Structure 1
Amino acid sequence: MVEHKNNVCTVFICYSYVYAGKVRTRRKTGSYEVGRAKRAEILDAATRLFAASGYHKVPLSQVAADAGLSESGLMHHFRSKKHLLLGVAEQRLERTATWWGSRQEGNAKEPVALFHNMVDSTRELVGEPGLIELFVLISAEAADTTTPAHQLYASWYERAVRETAGRLAEGVERGYLRADTNPAACAREIIAVSDGLQLQYVLSGGTLDLVEGVRDYARRLARSLLAPEHLDAAEAI
């Protein structure tokens, strides 16, 4: 009987630990999801405000109020305004990647799809000029290899070059682009021109016509890369 009681106790104790562990896990998971949701809400608020007024003109207290938090509550999720800036940048880069992915899937069979997407993505970006300023600000900080921005941007550029080169290589395989196209080199050039024009846009105080600048470049690039039988498509960019 004693042995039976001990076995029962052992089973009960084991069950209690497992059950308690599940309860704690659920609570932790629930708390984690709530934290993620609030973090996303803060980032959305910061993105709206930074895009409308610029990073330097928006205090943390305004972002906190827009997200329904006190400033100390916001800093529970982001230790400083610079950390919030990095969070906004990371979220924006992911959304940009998602946008490009969806567009490429939808018009991959068009000879000049990539070039049209370059112009369309720029048009969307100009709709939120404050985010262009953010991009330039973080790019400058990313040059310092000791900052979190460096790792974020290094990973992003590696991914952007790889995926853009992949789209160009697909164009070569489909016969849309010339066989002697160098996808990796062209991908780096496309990204460099886009980033350079964004910097000039900020320096001009927003007076530079960024969309037309990218369109002109995309059209010239298409003329140099398209296979002879598809050259006429460049004029539609």
Structure 2
Amino acid sequence: MPRRKTGSYEAGRQRRARIITAAAEHFAGLGYHRTSLTQVAEAADVTEGGLLHHFPSKKHLLLAVAEHRIEATAAWWGELPEDAGLTQVLDLMVRTTERFLAEPGLIQLNVLATAEAADPSSPAHEALSRRYRTVIEHLAATLQRCADRGELAGGTDCAALARECIAVSDGLQLQWVLTDGETDLVGGVRAHCRRILGGA
């Protein structure tokens, strides 16, 4: 009996992962509003009822894809050595932005998910708020290690600097979406990083 339960759990986990992958591909390619749950279910090889069992609404699916993207970004940051210098940290910020641009539809998705999460009653609110806090805490700790080695100006508030870095990235992504890709997203993040290095 336990064996059957484990198999059932694993099958469910795999179905959920397939649905998230299919949704990410469709949201990125067609856009969130032009993608139907039927299309996602077909691409994931599940019934629409099976999809709704895992994700009760399209908004819940949006949240899951956004969380998956945040986890992927965290994994990229996990590749950074604990003793990474300030230049390495800032270089990774730029490379992460370049990776975002490789899937422009997911930038639009991130902006949508963030806007959805701004509503305290949204299913996205608590989860994305928690993710933001984790990301900021991790980046602040990384910057603090740089400050402890004298790579940042004395008295630098690393938590505030981390929030500023995330705000610049998110703000530029919003501008990129609103200007139909005309905003130089990578260039803006690179310029911000240069200013940090210049003031270090």
TM-score normalised to structure 2 length:
0.94
- Whether 1:222 aligns to 2:190 is no
Where do residues 83-232 of structure 1 align in structure 2 (5 Å cutoff)?
A: 83-102=60-79, 104-105=80-81, 108-224=83-199, 226=200
Structure 2: where are the runs of 5+ without partners? Answer: none
1:158 Cα offset (Å): 0.8
Q: 1:114-144 deviations in whole A, cap 9, x for unaligned?
A: 1111110000001111111111111112111
Where do residues 42-121 of structure 1 align in structure 2 (5 Å cutoff)?
A: 42-102=19-79, 104-105=80-81, 108-121=83-96
Structure 1: where are the runs of 5+ without partners? Answer: 1-22, 227-237
- Kept after mapping to 1: 8 A contact 2:94/2:190: yes
Equivalents in 1 of 2:143, 2:161: separation in Å?
8
Q: AA paired with 2:20?
A: L
Moved over 4 A (4+): none
- Kept after mapping to 1: 8 A contact 2:86/2:143: no
Equivalents in 2 of 1:186, 1:43: separation in Å?
33
Equivalents in 1 of 2:105, 2:9: separation in Å?
30
* From 17, 26, 45, the counterpart of 1:40: 17
Equivalents in 2 of 1:77, 1:111: separation in Å?
41
Q: AA paired with 1:186?
A: L
Whose helix fraction is larger, Structure 1's or Structure 2's?
1
Equivalents in 1 of 2:157, 2:55: separation in Å?
42
Equivalents in 2 of 1:75, 1:40: separation in Å?
14
Q: 1:156-201 deviations in whole A, cap 9, x for unaligned?
A: 1111111111011010122222222110111111111111111101
Higher alpha-carbon Rg: 1
TM-score normalised to structure 1 length:
0.80
Equivalents in 2 of 1:219, 1:177: separation in Å?
13
1:90 Cα offset (Å): 1.2
**RMSD of the TM alignment (CA)?**
1.4
Q: Percent identity?
A: 50
Count residues in correspondence: 200
Q: 1:31-85 deviations in whole A, cap 9, x for unaligned?
A: 0111001100111111111112211121111111111122222222211211111
Q: AA paired with 1:59?
A: S
Aligned to 1:26: 3
Equivalents in 1 of 2:31, 2:193: separation in Å?
28
